[in-house]
């Protein structure tokens, strides 16, 4: 489950023997048809991978972003809302401070560049089918005629192109950009500060969109196989809550809002030349007759480890496992911390505090 920058969640799983794949969970009423992989290569390839896209929905009264490359930083800028800097302001600053006159390189549509190139080759009413190609002159002739017709046009906001005949029968011409323009462009420093000012954080995203799968939603992956339907917890789930018997009951989508997200405070320390490793198990680290939590370990055990002179910690049994008496060796999910001890945010706090002690 991966958060994509263009307002969606991508899910991928591998099941070469399956005939059908879908996500079922509390977010869609556990329906096996609501969020299924599309037919064809957009949803299933020849190697057994299944791909499902969950798109965020605009909230009522909100409008989609004007530019296709407008991004939200879901990971770092937790509390950052809308900066208030408009696209028009940024474009004007970039044109005034960065580009030379006539060199406005910003395009609002990702198809503008290939469309312009197609028009240069074939004209405004270019061929749409193979049959139409026989009724017009070859592309190189049409391109040269177009270039001659527009030689006195003002500077374009697109890089200049040219056609080079390489003498090969199977490849009559190559379309290349001007080498002089390339060198001139590479000599400039990219205007990243302009783009960063428009980047919005998770608060702005939550204000504008309904998440496709809300934080805390329970889900499984559903397959239709030759032996019948089955459901399972995805192998790449980052948080799993087993049932009372320790089986994999369901995965939990973990994408907390800014106010519930742990904020990192400390940098990872350098590896010491001489390691003194403290090996421990979170669940049995407390003195009370209960399974200790990540927070218990952070508050009560970390200070003791530091005081005892250790400079490294080896945690045992922290990932999700089936039976507690196995001390964590019957692993069920390699990418999920054990829900017995707390949440992923609690584990982040433990790691961050340990780094603060220079572990």
Q: Is residue 67 part of a domain?
A: no
> Residue range 270-289: average pLDDT?
90
pLDDT reading at 111 higher than 50: yes
User: In this predicted structure, what is the pLDDT of residue 67?
Assistant: 64
User: In this predicted structure, what is the pLDDT of residue 107?
Assistant: 52
- 216 and 203 both lie in a single domain: no
- 112 and 180 both lie in a single domain: yes
What is the C-alpha separation between 190 and 308, in angstroms, rounded?
51
Q: Is residue 63 part of a domain?
A: no
**Residue 172 pLDDT class (50, 70, 90 cuts):** very low
Number of domains in the chain: 4
**CATH code: domain of residue 273:** 3.30.750
User: In this predicted structure, what is the pLDDT of residue 105?
Assistant: 53
pLDDT in tens, 21-63: 999 999 999 999 999 997 766 788 888 899 999 989 999 998 8
Q: Is residue 145 part of a domain?
A: yes
What is the C-alpha separation between 332 and 329, in angstroms, rounded?
9
> Residue range 94-107: average pLDDT?
60
> Residue range 163-183: average pLDDT?
60
**Residue 8 pLDDT class (50, 70, 90 cuts):** confident
- 352 and 297 both lie in a single domain: yes
pLDDT reading at 116 higher than 90: no
User: In this predicted structure, what is the pLDDT of residue 170?
Assistant: 46
> Residue range 200-220: average pLDDT?
87
What is the C-alpha separation between 139 and 256, in angstroms, rounded?
54
**CATH code: domain of residue 236:** 2.60.40.10
- 230 and 204 both lie in a single domain: no
- 125 and 179 both lie in a single domain: yes
Pairing type for strands 312-316 and 277-281 reads: parallel
- 215 and 284 both lie in a single domain: no
- 146 and 95 both lie in a single domain: yes
User: In this predicted structure, what is the pLDDT of residue 287?
Assistant: 87
Q: Is residue 338 part of a domain?
A: yes
- Judged by average pLDDT, the poorest of 146-150, 167-171, 247-251, 289-293 is 167-171
Provide the domain limits for residue 221. 2-56+211-252
């Amino acid at each position: 489950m991966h958060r994509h920058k263009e307002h969606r969640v991508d899910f991928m799983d591998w099941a070469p023997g399956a005939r059908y794949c879908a996500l079922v969970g509390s977010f869609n009423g556990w329906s096996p048809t609501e969020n299924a992989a599309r037919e064809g290569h957009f949803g299933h390839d020849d190697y057994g991978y299944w791909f499902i896209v969950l798109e965020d929905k605009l909230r009522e009264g909100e409008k989609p972003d004007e530019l296709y490359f407008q991004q939200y930083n879901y990971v770092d800028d937790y509390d950052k809302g809308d900066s208030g800097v408009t696209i028009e302001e940024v474009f004007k600053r970039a044109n005034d401070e960065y580009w030379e006159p006539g060199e406005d390189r910003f395009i609002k549509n990702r198809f503008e560049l290939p469309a312009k190139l197609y028009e240069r080759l074939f004209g405004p009413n270019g061929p749409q089918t193979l049959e139409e190609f026989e009724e017009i002159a070859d592309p190189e002739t049409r391109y040269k005629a177009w270039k001659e017709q527009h030689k006195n046009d003002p500077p374009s906001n697109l890089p200049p192109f040219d056609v080079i005949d390489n003498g090969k029968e199977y490849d009559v011409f190559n379309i290349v950009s001007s080498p002089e323009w390339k060198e001139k462009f590479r000599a400039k420093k990219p205007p990243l500060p302009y783009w960063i000012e428009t980047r919005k954080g998770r608060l702005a995203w939550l204000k504008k969109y309904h998440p496709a799968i809300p934080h805390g939603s329970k889900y499984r992956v559903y397959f239709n196989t030759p032996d019948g339907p089955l459901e399972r917890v995805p192998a790449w789930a980052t948080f799993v809550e087993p049932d009372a018997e320790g089986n994999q009951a369901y995965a939990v989508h973990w994408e907390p809002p800014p106010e519930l997200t742990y904020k990192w405070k400390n940098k990872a320390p350098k590896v010491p030349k001489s390691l003194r490793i403290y090996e421990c198990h979170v669940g049995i680290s407390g003195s009370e007759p209960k399974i200790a939590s990540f927070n218990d370990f952070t508050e009560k055990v970390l200070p003791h480890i530091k005081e005892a002179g250790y400079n490294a910690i080896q945690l045992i049994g922290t990932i999700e496992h089936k039976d507690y008496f196995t001390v964590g060796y019957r692993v069920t999910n390699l990418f999920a911390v054990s829900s017995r001890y707390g949440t992923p945010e609690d584990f982040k706090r433990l790691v961050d505090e340990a780094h603060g002690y220079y572990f």
